A and B are shown apart, each in its own frame.
Chain A
Amino acid sequence: MKLSGSEIIIESLKKEGVDYIFGYPGGAVLHIYDALFAAKDIKHVLVRHEQGATHAADGYARACNKPGVVLVTSGPGITNCVTGIATAHMDSIPMIVISGQVSRHYVGSDAFQEADATGITRPICKHNFLINDRESIAETFRKAFIIATTGRPGPVIIDIPKDLTDPNIKINFEYKKNIKIRSYKVKTNECEDKIQDAAKLICSAKKPMIYSGGGVVLGKASTELTKLTKLLNFPITNTLMGLGAYPSSDSQFLGMLGMHGTYEANMAMHNCDVLLAVGARFDDRVTGDTKQFCPKAKIIHIDIDPSSISKIIEVDHSLIGNTKKILKKLITYTEKHKKTIDREAINKWWKKINSWQKKKCLSYSKSSKVIKPQAVIETLHKISKGKSFVTSDVGQHQMWVAQYYKFDKPNRWINSGGLGTMGFGLPAAIGAQLAFPKEQVICVTGEASILMCIQELSTCLQYGLPVKVINLNNRYMGMVRQWQEFFYEGRYAMSYMDAIPDFAKLAESFGHIGMVIDKPENLEKDLTTALGYKNRLVFVDVITDQTENVYPMIVNGKGHHEMHLAPSANEDIELA
């Protein structure tokens, strides 16, 4: 089969099973767009800003565990993708970004819309390619998909000069699925002995704790994690990225850990004697002061990335490899050694944990005058029966979703944990909604964040995406304001949101339904109405308590046992 470079790109994408491309056209990719025009099996989603394309592809990937694909032009096209690529990279999301480049004979001449795409993206991606000849297009695409989706996943950029996509020059096309990349290997160190040793250590624990992260979601190991935890009857906590990998409604789940984690999860971390870390990377928002992190614990770390082992916290036992496979074997060995578990000690440990839970650290003062943001999330959870896909932006609202929307399934909670990218939520919801057209997709956002990618409301209209945008409108960059309240004596420099648009009207002007909820007594009724619109995007502007804070909170440099609790938390409970 003889094909042009552009056709090879499209055929390669088909061979990889790509059904959606998120993109935006421009000079350097016009040949590719022309070939795409003729393609039937791949649907192109036209976003309104390239950053939106990357977040949408990212949201798609997070929802359905398939790589998201982006197509943009050279120069400003690819530079607009930088934030989205970095966002995906920090959370290890598989993504392919195809960027046009100026023709080869212009490269290096500061040509119109020339930018050094591979140079700019090098530190924020798993790998990138600049294609130099037509013959290597197909192979480069195959390599890119292999690299993006295997091992620890991540974004891969393919920069392709325009002349290589010329429709008039055709070459032989063959797509070899089985290619080897000699310099790329996914390393493992798992062996039966090591896994058996880990199982023995786990079973010897008197105060065990399981801490799991995004690696369980990405590694599709939620079932195994749940099975192992149940088998052991041990307490478990999830990181921000790992929420949903273990059912939040289960009694062994202690909630999220870390900076805004629950009292019980953080205290259990601080006091445990054996810690099983699964697909988590000991991020500073999780560990707090590393010198005080799990001071009494032997640590076992399961991860696909060798460089995650002992990077932040020295661990005692590492199992490097596919999380799902390792957990499966760990279950087998745990079954074998289960009888050695000191059940009496575990019961005592649970009693201790139950005493921490009595703090009721997520309680908040209810109000009949102002809408409490926490109540909005609890109500959303109730109406949607905890089954929605929920995306968020970054700020207090993000933490409240993590704390109060009790996710029971993986892939349902979609947020930018690593980079913390405001503007992520709405485009990510586009991707999730396209991956699951029949499911309810909710974007919980803040009045500051939503304005960073508001233009994507237009994309939602074009493709009829019935996303529900819930704007927790506190007229503040709430998270910034909270830090200023805590650490800058209430000097609210630039965190007050002045000149806020009328969001309901704004949504209407984009062709959607806009709603405002400003009274607590209307909250449930109006949210039910909003979520009830099956085929329409509804933008709900919820006017919330302006100065509510996120609790608990561990301030920088403090240990897990040094939390600030909400004023409403149960102070009387005797702890220690």
Chain B
Amino acid sequence: MNIDKRHIISILVENEFGSLSRIAGLFSARGYNIHCLSVAPTSDDSISRMTLVTNCSDTKASQLMKQLDKLVDVINVKDLTDETHIEREMLLLKVKSTLKQRDELKRLTDIFRARIIDVTDTTYTIELTGPTEKILAFIDSLGKIKIIEQVRSGALGISRGSESLEIKK
């Protein structure tokens, strides 16, 4: 109950001025960390969906859920952690690729089902989607290959089955 663990939380929020800072503000004011956060519009323009990852105990998480729910702009909120759900994250990685390294890079991207989406005479840019562990494993596997730049989307999560966070029209 009181051991910190990773919680992944989905939030539907009014796409309004200040909504994001209300949520971010709640985290800082109440001493929670935001490990990663992604925000984007939904099928309904007036609603944004956020996926947020934080580390805390279950007790603190349940308090956090109530505090999020209390924000006037929040339409719906759910802790996906303990139910069956799917998570994906996207990685864009720019690496140095000398002639010698090109084969090795190509092999690694194939193994991880990543794609090379841009090539220059000295670099490759690679795209990879998958659960966070896979992203980390891929980065790990690069060994001595030099990473020039790395961009991660943060986790996105969705529950399995017929359930939906979205409000019925």
**Which A residues lie at the B interface, using CB under 8 A?**
118-119, 122-123, 126-128, 130, 132, 147, 181-184, 187, 305-307, 309-311
Contacts and interface: CB of A to CB of B under 8 A. Distances in A.
A307 B21 contact: no
A182 B46 CA distance: 11
Contacts of A183: 13-14, 72-75
Interface string B15-34: 00110011001000100000
Interface stretch (B62-70, B99-107, B122-130, B147-155): B62-70
B29 A123 contact: yes
Contact of B70 (A128, A181, A305): A305
Given A147-B72, A307-B63, A307-B70, 8 more contacts: A119-B18, A122-B21, A130-B17, A130-B18, A181-B72, A307-B69, A309-B66, A311-B66
B50 to A, nearest CB: 13
B18 A184 contact: no
B167 interface: yes
A127 B72 contact: yes
Interface of B: 13-14, 17-18, 21-22, 25, 29, 62-63, 66-67, 69-70, 72-75, 167
Nearest to B73: A183
Given A305-B70, A307-B67, A311-B63, A119 B21 contact: yes
A122 B18 contact: yes
Nearest to A130: B17
Nearest to A122: B25
A123 B24 CA distance: 11
Contact of B17 (A132, A147, A182, A187): A132
A182 B70 contact: no
A123 B17 CA distance: 15
Contacts of B74: 183
Nearest to B62: A310
B75 to A, nearest CB: 4
Contacts of A311: 63, 66
Contacts of A187: 69
Contacts of B73: 127, 183
Contacts of B13: 183
A181 B46 CA distance: 13
A402 to B, nearest CB: 29
B59 to A, nearest CB: 8
Nearest to A182: B75
Given A132-B17, A181-B72, A183-B13, A122 B22 contact: yes
A278 to B, nearest CB: 19
Contact of B66 (A119, A122, A147, A306): A306
B70 A118 contact: no
Contacts of A306: 66, 69-70
Contacts of A130: 17-18
Nearest to A152: B70
A127 B22 CA distance: 9
A533 B107 CA distance: 94
A65 to B, nearest CB: 22
Contacts of A126: 72
27 contacts: A118-B17, A118-B18, A119-B18, A122-B18, A122-B21, A122-B22, A122-B25, A123-B25, A127-B73, A128-B18, A130-B17, A130-B18, A132-B17, A147-B72, A181-B72, A182-B75, A183-B13, A183-B14, A183-B72, A183-B73, A184-B72, A306-B66, A306-B69, A307-B66, A307-B67, A309-B66, A311-B63
Of the listed residues A122, A123, A183, A309, the one surrounded by the most CB atoms of chain B closer than 10 A to its CB is A183
Contacts of B17: 118, 130, 132
Nearest to A314: B59
Nearest to B46: A182
B26 to A, nearest CB: 8
6 closest residue pairs by CB, A with B: A307-B66, A127-B72, A183-B75, A306-B66, A184-B72, A183-B14
B163 to A, nearest CB: 19
Contacts of B18: 118-119, 122, 128, 130
Contacts of A127: 72-73
A183 B70 CA distance: 10
B23 to A, nearest CB: 11
A187 B67 CA distance: 13
Nearest to A118: B18
A123 B27 CA distance: 11
A128 B167 CA distance: 24
Contacts of B29: 123
A184 B76 CA distance: 10
Contacts of A181: 72
**Which of A128, A307, A310 is the most central at the interface, judged by chain B CB atoms within 10 Å of its CB?**
A307
A171 B134 CA distance: 57
A123 to B, nearest CB: 5
Contacts of A309: 66
Nearest to B26: A123
Nearest to B17: A130
Contacts of B69: 187, 306-307
A559 B48 CA distance: 46
Name, among B63, B66, B73, the residue most crowded by chain A CB atoms within 10 Å (CB to CB): B66
Nearest to A124: B29
A127 to B, nearest CB: 4
A143 to B, nearest CB: 9
A182 B72 contact: no
Nearest to A305: B70
A182 B168 CA distance: 11
Nearest to A119: B21
A309 B69 CA distance: 14
Contacts of A123: 25, 29
A224 to B, nearest CB: 25
A469 to B, nearest CB: 36
B32 to A, nearest CB: 14
A182 B66 CA distance: 17
Nearest to B29: A123
Nearest to B22: A122
B51 to A, nearest CB: 18
A395 B17 CA distance: 40
Contact of B167 (A118, A132, A182): A182
A123 B72 CA distance: 13
Contacts of A305: 70
A119 B22 CA distance: 9
Nearest to A309: B66
A127 B14 CA distance: 13
Contacts of B72: 126-127, 147, 181, 183-184
A12 B92 CA distance: 52
B48 to A, nearest CB: 11
